Structure 1
Amino acid sequence: MPYCLSFNQASPEASLGDDPLPHPSLESGAAASTSRNDASIPSPTFNLSHELAHAFQTPSYHDIRSRVHVIDPTQHHHKHHQTQPDIELLLSQVLQPNKECVQEALRHAKQTTLTNLVSTYFQHSENATRLCLNLYQNVHSARHYLYTPLLELFNVFPGDSHVAIDESLCNLAFDVFLKLDTFENPFSSPESYSFQETQLCFSQLKHKLDSRLHKSRSRVRLLHHATAGSALCLVAAIVAVAASAAVIASHVILTLVVVAGPLCSTYLSHSFKKKELTNISQLNAAAKGTFVLNKDLDTIDRLVSRLHTGIEYDKLFIRLGLERGRDVHSIQEIAKQLRKSHLNLTHQLKDLEDHICLWFTNVNKARFLLLKEIHLSRT
């Protein structure tokens, strides 16, 4: 029996409130796209560096890091070695609420436009998380097979390029470069990267959620105006009847009051309004989550693109240098250039790793908040 969320105060998932989703700037952007009434509200002061530093210190973020740190990069050198069961196992450990919990929550739901949108949201977030898990493995693969060997070489290589190296160091460096030349770039080119399709799915879903949210809000406004109109009509009827009270019997007054209400407006049930407000809560949770997650994907996509370009540049330089054979000058020149790019690319790998873990944290928060709204709609 899969573990599913318990929506009470003692639930461990309640700690997700340590960093409410979405972030202030993102939430204001999402609200602006879904409600014109919020346009007059000033955007809160937002400092990206501060928000990221805070996000990287939250308990939920550290919990995610503890779950995914067990990935063994030595098992994932080439993409064809990344077996689907490995990813699915990691997905079940990282993604919460998991697929089983979502299916259980939606199993008895009536098939409506809202239900379909919610189901699509959960599926898109699951697919994107699977993609991020592959990326996380690729980060470790690049670090283990490309930049760790380079760091080990730099530790024994003279830092001053003017200091000549002996034949043994030349041969050692040449062999390392030969091995690195065979290393496949683990990050796809921006043109072929599957994140574009994933981002398009999120953008289309956001548009549909906004459209459905607008309809629900319009219905609630109509209900509000109709209810207010009915109340005014009823008051007018009572006043008119009271003015005629001297000549009309009391039982006739009751008859007029009962009849006046339906004549003024169509009967609008309280349950219908409550249902629309419940729909708005779910749509809001899904729309905000979609907005934030798509922004996270934008950041990850840019980092991946930069890493792909940087690694391709290093590989090209290594290949050009190896064509000259075991020439001391060529080997030293390769080492000099790689030392320059090494620090920058290792920092980029760290940035990508951090933002992927932040994705895991945010996607779990977003899924939890939406599933919570679904649960509340049944109480």
Structure 2
Amino acid sequence: MLECLPAGSPTFSTMHQAPMDASSSSSSPVTSTTTINLSRIYSTAILQTNSFKEMVRITSSMDLVVPDAADHEQDQLQDLSGMLTQVLSPNRDRVLNALHRSKSTSLLNLISSYFDYSERTTRLCLTLRGIVAQARRLYSPINTLLQDLPIDSLSQTHCELVVQEFHKFKDDANPFPRPDSLTFHPIRDHFCDLNRQLERRLRKSSSRIRLVRSPNPDPNTVLCCRGGAAITAYIPPKFARRELAYAAQLKVASRNTYVLKTDLDTLDSLVGRLHNTVEDDKRFIRLGLNMGNDEHTVQEVLIHLGKNHPNLGHYLDLLEQKITTCLITVNHSRSQLLKEILLHQTSSDSSHPQ
């Protein structure tokens, strides 16, 4: 599988940046004044924006939804559709209304694909947001044990309670998909293929624009000269405006296709890490249960879970933040592209005599 861009293409995602250690900067006074705290900058620039806060408000309602085993799949689809109508902007009807007025079939297919894949990305993000909520519920009893129990002096009653919760934890399914699952691959492959098509169409449009912008001011532009006879062609202004509009739409779609593909790569990495973390905790708990429910064994398992807990919480927070920023990116990109489409249609309508 060819990648969207060469391996050497520069990429940067602040979601991969771990918070900086304040103690390390304080111990080095020479560099403390020049150290850039990327985590703080990211928090100020993105996490404090109104759009981020509003998206968090909408999606946080998924934390309150507890799946019912009886009709889990049907209820999940209904909840997802209802959430999609609140999150996705501009919505599908508004996009389809604009696309129906398009006169370029080749461009229409590419732009329609972008809107379709961006909507699928939103659906995937909402599914992941529900998975994050499931993971927090899965670990809630463990977190309570770590906070409330005197781990250094456990009673037999404490041990029995811990063992009971351990059995529940190991029997519950890992909410995160396996790293080798097909959760992300299809949509990422679609984006890669779409990006290649958009770039190819953009190169074609750019070559036409270069022809239109010939230095010859004469509308009868000279195309070639052979045997002393010049062959000319008239290039109308309408053609020039149309190609420029098409190029603008293609650039927006191509740029945001790559951005969303990169966001999906980051989400895939975080989901894979969290899946493995949950599996490691399950494996350690099973090992402890096989060794017995004495105070020392229960103590060791709790200590191990307590050491892993901060990292788990950190990556859950990162995934939740990245899901939210990805949802915002989808909406921003859809709005940009729709704006270019409507701008072209408005200028085209105004060019016709009434």
TM class, shorter-length: 0.7 to 0.9
Secondary structure at 2:233 match in 1: coil
Query: What one-letter code is carried by the residue in structure 2 that aligns with 1:363?
Result: V
Aligned match of 2:210: 221
* 325, 333, 350: which one aligns with 1:358: 325
Secondary structure at 1:351 match in 2: helix
Which residues of 2 match residues 1-379 of structure 1 at below 5 A?
49=39, 50-51=41-42, 53-76=44-67, 80=73, 83-110=76-103, 112-146=105-139, 148-159=140-151, 163-225=152-214, 227-228=216-217, 265-379=232-346
For 1:16-57, what per-residue CA distance to the aligned partner results, in whole angstroms no more than 9, with x for missing partners? xxxxxxxxx879xxxxxxxxxxxxxxxxxx996434641222
Q: Is the 8 A contact 1:77 1:141 kept in 2?
A: no
Secondary structure at 1:83 match in 2: helix
Secondary structure at 1:143 match in 2: helix
Secondary structure at 1:71 match in 2: helix
Within 1, Cα distance between the matches of 2:211 and 2:240?
A: 10
Aligned match of 2:18: none
Query: What one-letter code is carried by the residue in structure 1 that aligns with 2:176?
Result: F
Aligned match of 2:30: none
Gaps of 5+ in 1: 1-24, 28-45, 234-261
How far off is 1:323 after superposition? Answer: 1.6
Q: Is the 8 A contact 1:97 1:364 kept in 2?
A: yes
How far off is 1:325 after superposition? Answer: 3.0
How far off is 1:164 after superposition? Answer: 3.5
How far off is 1:138 after superposition? Answer: 0.5
Gaps of 5+ in 2: 1-9, 13-35, 223-228, 347-354
Secondary structure at 1:266 match in 2: strand
Within 1, Cα distance between the matches of 2:214 and 2:243?
A: 15
How far off is 1:117 after superposition? Answer: 0.4
Q: Is the 8 A contact 1:220 1:273 kept in 2?
A: yes
Q: Is the 8 A contact 1:76 1:138 kept in 2?
A: no
How far off is 1:342 after superposition? Answer: 0.9
How far off is 1:86 after superposition? Answer: 1.1
Q: Is the 8 A contact 2:154 2:295 kept in 1?
A: yes
Among all aligned residue pairs of Structure 1 and Structure 2, give the percentage whose two residues are the same amino acid.
37
Within 1, Cα distance between the matches of 2:167 and 2:59?
A: 31
Within 2, Cα distance between the matches of 1:309 and 1:179?
A: 19
Q: Which structure has the greater CA radius of gyration? A: 1
How far off is 1:231 after superposition? Answer: 7.6
Within 2, Cα distance between the matches of 1:218 and 1:272?
A: 13
Please give the TM-score of this superposition, normalised by the length of structure 1. Answer: 0.75
In structure 2, the CA distance between the partners of 1:47 and 1:325, relative to structure 1 (3 Å rule), is closer
Q: Is the 8 A contact 2:220 2:232 kept in 1?
A: no
In structure 2, the CA distance between the partners of 1:82 and 1:299, relative to structure 1 (3 Å rule), is farther
Secondary structure at 1:70 match in 2: helix
Within 1, Cα distance between the matches of 2:256 and 2:174?
A: 32
In structure 2, the CA distance between the partners of 1:356 and 1:280, relative to structure 1 (3 Å rule), is same
In structure 2, the CA distance between the partners of 1:232 and 1:71, relative to structure 1 (3 Å rule), is closer
Within 1, Cα distance between the matches of 2:235 and 2:244?
A: 14
How far off is 1:320 after superposition? Answer: 1.3
Q: Is the 8 A contact 1:317 1:334 kept in 2?
A: yes
Please give the TM-score of this superposition, normalised by the length of structure 2. Answer: 0.80
Aligned residues: 305
Within 2, Cα distance between the matches of 1:74 and 1:86?
A: 9
Secondary structure at 1:76 match in 2: coil
